[in-house]
Every structure is written in structure tokens, then in C-alpha cells.
């Protein structure tokens, strides 16, 4: 059985959890983290799940971060690479229509999420939820909100051209942007209207796999 080291409150782990749910692949989740634990973030004095600093874990992932998988002896880290591997290995038809061009387009949107959506959303998480209140910065939060909205405008334009991020069908390229938009909605911050994103969001959140790990607010708002 595939093993996954990570935590449900990690956006990077969430990408993998959603993908595993889409392909209905059994796995064992091993809670691991250097910054979060059962009671919340280490900045508030909480104890992390750990494991990531152990010699055994570092032998698998020298970065000491999550997620990491072990699939029958094949060890892989970096969330986007794990999602691509799972799509290619277990569900090429389901997750990219077994089409190399759709695969490349989906891969682009994963990298875009990591480079463009993640940084401002990380700042929002820290200054809304995870940092102690006396260490939160309203200006940094507002800057992150505005930067995230700029990125949403790019998604809005794309979703005016295609039903999903890459094509007329759901692909693994919808997973990473989807979880970031879901987390954004849960933050309930001021936002302009994005009707194409609204339509797409309604479709992706109606998928059974979305509701296995990703839908739960506590997986996004835990501090």
C-alpha cells in the first residue's frame, strides 16, 4: 500500500490527497510536519507532528518537508511531481485524457499555483490564522489579498475560454488551483465578482473526491 507522509492542513499535502481520492487508490497517511501539530502551529508554542527531522525521513526527503510518498519502494517528494506521477501511473485517461498536450497544460497550472497562488495565500494563512494575534500584520494581509485577486483574474480569463483549467474536462490541473480557491473562499475576505470561477468552483466542489479530504474547513482554517 502506498504511504504518504504529510498533514491534511498542508496545501501541498492536500494536492496529493485530492489526487488519491480521484483515483481511489488505497494509502496510509502518516502525520508528519515540522511546523504544525495536533493543536496547531508552532508559532503559538504547539508541538509539531515531527518525523521530518529524523534520519529515516531525511533519507527519503533531504528537505525535511511534506509531502513524501513511498509507492512500493518508489520514493518521491515535491507535491506537484507526486500529483503528476499519480496521474501518469494510475489514471492517465481520467486525469488528463491520456493526451500529452493536456498533460503539459495541466502541469503548467500546477506550477503556476505553486509560483503564483501559494505565496500570497501563505501570507494570508499566517496573518489571518496561524501567527499569534500580536504578530499578525494587517498591511501584509491586505497586500496578500490584493496579490491573490490579481492571480484570480488570470484564472477568470482562462475559465472564460475553457470549462476547466485545461480543457472541457476535469484534469489534475484543476486540483491545485481548486484547493487554493476553496481556501480563499473559506477566508471570506473582500473580493470582486468572478463568474467564471464561480461556475468552475461549483463543478469541482461537487466531485465526490473533493469531499473526501479537501472540503472540510478545519483542513484549511486550523491555526
Task: Answer whether residue 223 shows pLDDT above 80.
Answer: no
Q: pLDDT tens, 86-129?
A: 999 999 999 999 999 999 999 999 999 999 999 999 999 999 99
- Percent of the chain whose pLDDT exceeds 70: 100
Largest distance between two CA atoms of the chain: 50
DSSP annotation of 71 reads E
Quote the pLDDT of residue 222: 80
Nearest to 195 by CA among 160, 161, 169: 160
Domain positions in the chain are 2-90, 98-209
- Tell which CATH classification among 2.40.40.20, 1.10.3430.10, 3.40.30.10, 3.30.1280.10 matches the domain 2-90: 3.40.30.10
Q: Is the pTM of this model over 0.85?
A: yes
Q: Tell me if 184 sits within 8 A of 117, measured CB to CB.
A: no
> Does domain 98-209 bear CATH number 1.20.1050.10?
yes
Amino acid at each position: 500500500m502506498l504511504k504518504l507522509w504529510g498533514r491534511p492542513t498542508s496545501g501541498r499535502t492536500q494536492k496529493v490527497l485530492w489526487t488519491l481520492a480521484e483515483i481511489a487508490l488505497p494509502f496510509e497517511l502518516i502525520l508528519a510536519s515540522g511546523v504544525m501539530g495536533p493543536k496547531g502551529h508552532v508559532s503559538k508554542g504547539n508541538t509539531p507532528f515531527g518525523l521530518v527531522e529524523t534520519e529515516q525521513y531525511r533519507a527519503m526527503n533531504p528537505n525535511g518537508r511534506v509531502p513524501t510518498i513511498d509507492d512500493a519502494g518508489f520514493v518521491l517528494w515535491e507535491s506537484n511531481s507526486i500529483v503528476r506521477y499519480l496521474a501518469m501511473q494510475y489514471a492517465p485517461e481520467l486525469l488528463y485524457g491520456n493526451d500529452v498536450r493536456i498533460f503539459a497544460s495541466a502541469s503548467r497550472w500546477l506550477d503556476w499555483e505553486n509560483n503564483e497562488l501559494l505565496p500570497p495565500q501563505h501570507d494570508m494563512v499566517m496573518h489571518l490564522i496561524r501567527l499569534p494575534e500580536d504578530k499578525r500584520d494587517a498591511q501584509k494581509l491586505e497586500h496578500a489579498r490584493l496579490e491573490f485577486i490579481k492571480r484570480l483574474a488570470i484564472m477568470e480569463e482562462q475559465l472564460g475560454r475553457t470549462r476547466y483549467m485545461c480543457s472541457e474536462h476535469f484534469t489534475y490541473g484543476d486540483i491545485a488551483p481548486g484547493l487554493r480557491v476553496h481556501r480563499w473562499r473559506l477566508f471570506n475576505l473582500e473580493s470582486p465578482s468572478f463568474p467564471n470561477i464561480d461556475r468552475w468552483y461549483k463543478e469541482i466542489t461537487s466531485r465526490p473526491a473533493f469531499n473526501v479530504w479537501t472540503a472540510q474547513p478545519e483542513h484549511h482554517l486550523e491555526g
